[in-house]
Amino acid sequence: MAVLGRYFYIYGRVQGVGFRYQTYHWANQNGIKGFVCNRDDGSVKLAIYGSEQDIEFVDEWLKAGGPPGAKIDHFFSETWKTEPIADFSVRYQ
């Protein structure tokens, strides 16, 4: 199994609605590794470390609207290189 890293940059109503904490719980329930953090421009960065299937699963979840209370206007992603990540966390820049 190839392990990949992918950043998702998510825009819309994604700060002040519990996006990071709901994503944290969703990721842990689904065995997703990585982290989530707010960005200064009002967006959220979601970093995923896992298989292509894990990354596709996250992509589909975001396309379906992500966590309750959020309103995703758009998002994009890019590949990243990283050391292995053992869990999922909320980061505070």
Catalytic residue flag (residue 30): no
Catalytic residue among 6, 20, 39, 91: 20
E strand residue ranges, the chain: 4-13, 33-38, 44-50, 71-79, 88-90
pLDDT of residue 1: 58
Task: Note down pLDDT in tens along the chain; length 93 residues.
Answer: 568 899 999 999 999 999 999 999 999 999 999 999 999 999 999 999 999 999 999 999 999 999 999 999 999 999 988 888 999 999 996
Give the predicted TM-score (pTM) of the model: 0.93
Catalytic residue flag (residue 38): yes
Q: Name the 3-class secondary structure at 60.
A: helix
pLDDT of residue 48: 96
Catalytic residue among 28, 30, 38, 91: 38
pLDDT of residue 19: 96
Q: Six-digit token pair at 12?
A: 């819309």
Question: What residue type is assigned to position 88 of the chain?
Answer: F
